[in-house]
Amino acid sequence: MAQRDILKAVQKALERPVKRNFTESIDLAINLRNIDMSQPQNRIEEEIVLPNGLGKPVKIAVFASGELAVNAKNAGADLVISPEQIDVLRANKKQAKTIADEHDFFIAEASLMPSIGKSLGPVLGPRGNMPSPIQPGSDVTRPIERLRKTVKIRSKDKMTFHTIIGCESMTPEDIAANIETIIKRLETKMDKQKIRSIYVKTTMGPSVRVL
């Protein structure tokens, strides 16, 4: 699909007579067809790095100890969770759920993954928030920077699913480029004919067809 057509749809979605007193997100609705979504292998679960980010903060938590924990904090992680805190969170499911809901992505020191899976898997797993592992001594700055521009797309067992792809403070061109990136990724995962339609909209605005 030509980017100019995507751009026209974005521009139309951004046109509205009422100016809200908050910055609206830009959402993408994806509708599939002719797929048995009861089969896990047919479901979409992707992390896509957007060329222009989301135009708003993305919160990242890191499970780490020692030097990696220090480096994660210096790299701007929103929360650093020590091995000792993993046990605390296991006993306090309410706090664990709050942290899972308040953060978009999780990174974990590889050696902590078994403990995290056992203690917090039931909380993080269903939310699609199981951590990406990182080896001690690795540069944690780069994965944090990458995740700041990453969006998750999860269909679960639904034929229609949504994702945020930007906010209204971004230029229409940047938003259109983000949409194009998502469409290209989807088309590498499935037959184009299985994508019924795609719509873009602001938080409070009407849907505009992109595809």
Q: Provide the pairing of β-strand 195-202 with 208-209.
A: antiparallel
Prediction pTM value: 0.91
Are 7 and 31 contained in the same domain?
yes
Question: Strand, coil or helix: what is 93?
Answer: helix
Mean pLDDT along residues 126-139: 94
Binning pLDDT at 50, 70 and 90, where does residue 95 land?
very high
Residue 200 confidence (pLDDT) above 80: yes
CATH number at residue 72: 3.40.50.790
What is the pLDDT at residue 17? Answer: 65
186 shares a domain with 124? no
If asked whether residues 68 and 132 sit together in one domain, one would say yes
Question: Mind listing the pLDDT tens digit for each residue in 74-85?
Answer: 999 999 999 999
The CATH number that applies at residue 21 is 3.30.190.20
Based on the domain organization, do 135 and 203 belong to the same domain?
A: no
Closest to 112 measured CA to CA, from 63, 47, 62, 55: 63
Residue 36 makes CB contacts below 8 A (sequence gap 6+) with: 42
User: Which of these three, 130, 147, 164, is where a domain ends?
Assistant: 147
Q: Which of 121, 147, 173 is the last residue of a domain?
A: 147
| Same-domain check for residues 173 and 188 | yes
C-alpha 36/C-alpha 38 separation (Å) is 5
> Do residue 101 and residue 173 come from a single domain?
no
Distance CA 190, CA 60 (A): 30
How many structural domains does the chain have? 2
The answer to whether residues 77 and 137 belong to one domain is: yes
Residue ranges making up the domain that contains 13: 3-55+149-209
- Does residue 115 sit in the same domain as residue 181? no
pLDDT in tens, 175-196: 999 999 999 999 999 999 999 9
**Residue where a domain stops, chosen among 127, 147, 167:** 147
Question: Same domain for 69 and 45?
Answer: no
Mean pLDDT across the stretch 8-24? 88
